[in-house]
């Protein structure tokens, strides 16, 4: 991994704008190196991007990854990680690190949670033990982890919640953001590098609530903002529409982060709407169940039809897995339940996402993003439609 | 991975001899590159060295690995691998490859086997289906796999078998070796490289049977010979004594391969007895259960006592895992059941074995092997004794 300056202040620079869409090309400067945007962050849930080494993650081109506060709090515990010198050092990742706030997990992984103005009481998904998360505890944990980007503790109303519930979540998210900012303290992490706090917008699929949430969080003039409460089972058109609206409501000079999105076509559309940062478990989680991503849509490589297929996972991919291995071999590894199956599929999928983002950035640099997004999006969508037609035809 | 000459004939050259022991420093020339001996072969059972990529295996310094005929015959099948261009190409390994004969597995993994002069009937450990292995089928499979070194189909009597049973296994192994040689054919594999057949000595812990087996197989003047039937639960002194005897009975100008051995102290003693080649599942299998090897003996890194241990797995190790990660981190990965736990522990253990062999070769080159073996062996043994005393003290 490369060197990085620990003494560089956090910053976001817009390097260029698409002449046809709201897409922008930018650079995030962090205490652990520069990150070119639009950027996709692989998810390293509990101290590991599942099934791959951090050297391998770095080699895919990833320079910013996400760690999960909820999971690391439960195991091995943020205090242990703090004593070990913080999460970068504990897990051996030299790049930049964003931690989520645990807000999403305490609502989504815990059906028996109890929400009050103070915070959320929930039971651990590991052993059922009782825990209480507040904005203050979320900050305490994330500051102990020592991430470069700290996310505010928000309340995400589930899709389908009634308008009044979404409104209450917006109001609480604003109040909790104030509490997060109050305990966040100075911008210098214990390790010496700059850390920053990002606010999160809520509002579900309600335009007026999105506007209200945006106005309230933007008033705090934070170094970056996230769009929360999307990719929670709402229909794709609603997600796309809300992303366009939400991105436009956030300041142009701050990075915009769309949480938990998504498939390549969603990413292309969201970049066009002005989003700069993405994270999703999709490439890593799908890999472990035997599904890989190609320029022509998903490929379920563990299927029988690939038993003797000598092609690489994606013939247009230049990743080390596609350079060396066939679909037949990787399908065999899944059949034989070899650990290497998950590793190779994950490596390919992470390369696929980083190549997708590198292609987007290059197209932005060369002023041809709109065409590029149309072509890449159409090829993906046609591939997905062929796959779905094939699945239906075979009655699978 | 580096280039290699496919047109080099197979050969074994002795580069030097230890002035104090029977150890020798040599080089195996194969159709997939040169292999410095004494050499340790990682085991790639079913098309994968478990939990690591072949790039990672190569980076440990491994240039010759072992594939299991029995497992590959059952899944994905040798014919599929042959259609894919052979095992090197199917699994993406550019180095040299030795395949075992399946003899050991059909006897050890199958309690319900039935042995006749023709071969062995057994049930698959995967689905209970019936199969019949003969010397001819073992050759057919290994030739289809396209390995550089093909092992003869032998009969390994279990430890504790009575003398008459061991004698019958020796006799049958000799007859089966003749049949293997008869169907082995020319030395050119379908891929164009040279392949060679190694014979296997049996005889259990009986000196006269070892002498008889050696005389009978050496008479065939094969390019290399293995010592089989050891490391099958016999006491260590018997194993060491038989290894010394057996190595001495094999021709000095042919490589000697001690199958399935073993721990570092066993390897040091066997090199001193004149053994050139080793394989063992120990580094890869132990890794996946949370045990790593250090210069001071085994370390059960998944134990609670390492929860906050900031040291690397082995402070004297220069492998990439020890350069980047602490015991505390790897212990956490085992606790959280992360795939990366197995990968990092396997990588370290494979590096440990390759470093052990590199140290042996360097000491041989510099004429100080006897001292080196004493020091390395004493440090390992003292570490193991401390560990065992500690386990007893704590009543574990």
pLDDT tens string B204-219: 999 999 999 999 999 9
Return the DSSP state at B42: P
Contact B75 A336 (CB under 8 A): yes
Question: Which among A100, A154, A265, A314 is annotated as catalytic?
Answer: A100
Return the DSSP state at A8: P
Q: Is-contact B72 B102, C-beta < 8 A?
A: no
Residue A3 bears catalytic tag:
no
Q: Nearest residue on chain B to A309, judged by CA atoms?
A: B84
Query: Which among A55, A59, A325, A329 is the top mutation candidate for probing chain B, defined by the most B β-carbons within 10 Å of its own β-carbon?
Result: A329
CB-based contact, B126 to chain A, within 8 Å: no
Q: Is B267 exposed, middle or buried (0-12, 13-18, 19+ CB in 10 A)?
A: buried
Count of other CB atoms within 10 angstroms of residue A116: 10
Contact A90 B328 (CB under 8 A): yes
Half-sphere exposure of A66 (CA within 13 A, CB side): 23
pLDDT, mean over chain B: 95
What is the model's pTM?
A: 0.96
Q: Is-contact B138 B105, C-beta < 8 A?
A: no
- The Cα of B325 is separated from the nearest Cα of chain A by a number of Å equal to 6
Strand order in the sheet with A11-17: A11-17, A24-30, A33-37
Q: Three-class SS of residue B212?
A: helix
Q: Is A162 exposed, middle or buried (0-12, 13-18, 19+ CB in 10 A)?
A: exposed
Q: Is-contact B123 B146, C-beta < 8 A?
A: no
Count of other CB atoms within 10 angstroms of residue B55: 15
Phi-psi region of A116 (alpha: psi -120 to 50; beta: other; left: phi over 0): beta
- Percent of chain B whose predicted confidence (pLDDT) is above 90: 87
Q: At what angle do helices A135-145 and A163-184 cross, to 10 degrees?
A: 50
Distance CA B18, CA B22 (A): 6
- Across the interface, which of B47, B84, B90 has its CB nearest the CB of A336? B47
Contact B50 A84 (CB under 8 A): no
Contact A84 B343 (CB under 8 A): no
CB-based contact, B178 to chain A, within 8 Å: no
Residue B162 bears catalytic tag:
no
Residue with tokens 């999960």, as numbered in its chain: A68
- The Cα of A330 is separated from the nearest Cα of chain B by a number of Å equal to 9
Count of other CB atoms within 10 angstroms of residue A77: 15
Strand segments (E) across A162-315: 196-201, 224-227, 256-258, 277-279, 291-294, 297-300
Q: Residues A80, A83, A86, A87: what is their CA dihedral angle, to the nearest 10 degrees? A: -30
B 265-284 residues with CB < 8 A to A: none
With a cut of 50, list the residues of chain A below it in pLDDT. Answer: 1-6
| pLDDT (tens digit per residue) in A246-275 | 999 999 999 999 999 999 999 999 999 999
Q: Is B394 exposed, middle or buried (0-12, 13-18, 19+ CB in 10 A)?
A: exposed
CB-based contact, B285 to chain A, within 8 Å: no
Phi-psi region of B74 (alpha: psi -120 to 50; beta: other; left: phi over 0): alpha
Q: Is B205 exposed, middle or buried (0-12, 13-18, 19+ CB in 10 A)?
A: buried
Q: In whole angstroms, what separates CA A131 from the centre of its chain?
A: 25
pLDDT the model gives residue B4: 46
ipTM value: 0.96
Could you please report the per-residue DSSP string of A224-244? EEEE-S-SSS--HHHHHHHHH
Tell whether the model's pLDDT for residue B2 goes beyond 60. Answer: no
Question: Which among A154, A279, A314, A355 is annotated as catalytic?
Answer: A279
Question: In Å, how far are A43, A158, A279, A333, B279 from A232, measured between CA atoms?
Answer: 17, 7, 14, 33, 51
CB-based contact, A57 to chain B, within 8 Å: no
- The Cα of B29 is separated from the nearest Cα of chain A by a number of Å equal to 24
- The Cα of B340 is separated from the nearest Cα of chain A by a number of Å equal to 5
Query: Which among B45, B46, B53 is the top mutation candidate for probing chain A, defined by the most A β-carbons within 10 Å of its own β-carbon?
Result: B53
- Across the interface, which of B47, B90, B324 has its CB nearest the CB of A92? B324
Distance CA A35, CA B196 (A): 53
Distance CA A308, CA B179 (A): 32
Contact A47 B310 (CB under 8 A): no
- Across the interface, which of A75, A329, A343 has its CB nearest the CB of B343? A343
Q: Is-contact B150 B184, C-beta < 8 A?
A: yes
On chain B, the residues whose CB falls within 8 A of the CB of A84 are 308, 310, 326, 328-329
| pLDDT (tens digit per residue) in B81-125 | 999 999 999 999 999 999 999 988 888 776 668 889 999 999 888
Distance CA A354, CA A343 (A): 16
Strands B297-300 and B291-294: antiparallel
Distance CA B249, CA B217 (A): 11
CB-based contact, B75 to chain A, within 8 Å: yes
Count of other CB atoms within 10 angstroms of residue B190: 12
Tell whether the model's pLDDT for residue B190 goes beyond 80. Answer: no
- Percent of chain A whose predicted confidence (pLDDT) is above 90: 87
pLDDT the model gives residue B191: 79
Nearest to B279 by CA among B26, B109, B45: B45
Distance CA B122, CA B133 (A): 8
Q: Which two tokens stand for residue B230?
A: 């050891």
Q: In whole angstroms, what separates CA A234 from the centre of its chain?
A: 18
Per-residue b or e along B220-229, where b marks 16 or more CB atoms closer than 10 Å to that residue's CB: eebbbbbbbb
Question: In Å, how far are A27, A159, A351, B100, B357 from B36, measured between CA atoms?
Answer: 49, 63, 35, 20, 9
* A/B interface, count of CB pairs below 8 Å: 108
Distance CA A308, CA B261 (A): 36
Q: Is-contact A246 A210, C-beta < 8 A?
A: yes
Strand segments (E) across B236-340: 256-258, 277-279, 291-294, 297-300
pLDDT the model gives residue A2: 40
Q: Is-contact A169 A153, C-beta < 8 A?
A: no
Contact A76 B343 (CB under 8 A): no
Residue with tokens 């000595």, as numbered in its chain: B201
Contact A48 B333 (CB under 8 A): yes
Count of other CB atoms within 10 angstroms of residue B396: 8
Distance CA B30, CA B187 (A): 12
Distance CA A86, CA A208 (A): 40
A 318-377 residues with CB < 8 A to B: 320, 324-326, 328-329, 332-333, 335-336, 338-340, 342-344, 347
Contact A336 B76 (CB under 8 A): yes
On chain A, the residues whose CB falls within 8 A of the CB of B80 are 307-308, 328
| pLDDT (tens digit per residue) in B285-305 | 999 999 999 999 999 999 999
- Across the interface, which of A47, A55, A326 has its CB nearest the CB of B329? A47
| pLDDT (tens digit per residue) in B352-365 | 999 999 999 999 99
């Amino acid at each position: 991994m490369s060197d990085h300056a620990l003494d560089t202040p956090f910053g976001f620079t817009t390097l260029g704008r698409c002449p046809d869409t709201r897409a922008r090309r930018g650079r995030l400067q962090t205490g652990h190196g520069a990150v070119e945007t639009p950027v996709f962050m692989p998810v390293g849930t509990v101290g590991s991007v599942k099934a791959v080494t951090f050297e391998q993650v770095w080699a895919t081109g990833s320079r910013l990854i996400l760690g999960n506060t909820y999971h690391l709090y439960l195991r091995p515990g943020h205090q242990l990680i703090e004593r070990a010198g913080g999460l970068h050092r504990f897990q051996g990742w030299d790049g930049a690190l964003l931690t989520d706030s645990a807000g999403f997990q305490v609502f989504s992984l815990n059906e028996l949670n109890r929400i009050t103005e103070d915070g959320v009481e929930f039971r651990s998904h590991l052993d059922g033990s009782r825990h209480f998360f507040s904005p203050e505890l979320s900050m305490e944990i994330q500051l102990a982890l020592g991430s470069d980007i700290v996310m505010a503790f928000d309340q995400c109303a589930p899709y389908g919640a009634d308008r009044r519930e979404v409104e209450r979540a917006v109001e609480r998210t604003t109040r909790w953001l104030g509490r997060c900012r109050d305990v966040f303290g100075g911008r210098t992490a214990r390790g010496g590098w700059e850390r920053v706090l990002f606010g999160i917008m809520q509002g579900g699929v309600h335009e007026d609530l999105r506007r209200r949430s945006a106005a309230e969080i933007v008033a705090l003039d934070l170094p970056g903002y996230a769009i929360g409460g999307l990719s929670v089972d709402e229909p794709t058109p609603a997600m796309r529409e809300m992303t366009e609206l939400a991105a436009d409501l956030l300041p142009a000079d701050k990075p915009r982060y769309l949480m938990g999105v998504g498939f390549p076509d969603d990413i292309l559309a969201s970049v066009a709407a002005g989003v700069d940062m993405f994270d999703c478990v999709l490439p890593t989680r799908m890999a472990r169940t035997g599904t890989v991503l190609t320029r022509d849509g998903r490929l379920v490589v563990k299927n029988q039809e690939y038993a003797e297929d000598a092609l690489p996972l994606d013939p247009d991919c230049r990743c080390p897995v596609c350079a060396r291995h066939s679909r037949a071999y990787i399908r065999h590894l899944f059949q034989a339940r070899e650990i290497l199956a998950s590793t190779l599929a994950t490596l390919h999928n992470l390369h696929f996402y980083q190549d997708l983002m590198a292609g987007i950035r290059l197209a932005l640099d060369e002023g041809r993003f709109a065409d590029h997004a149309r072509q890449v999006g159409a090829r993906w969508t046609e591939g997905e439609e062929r796959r779905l037609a094939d699945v239906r035809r075979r009655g699978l």
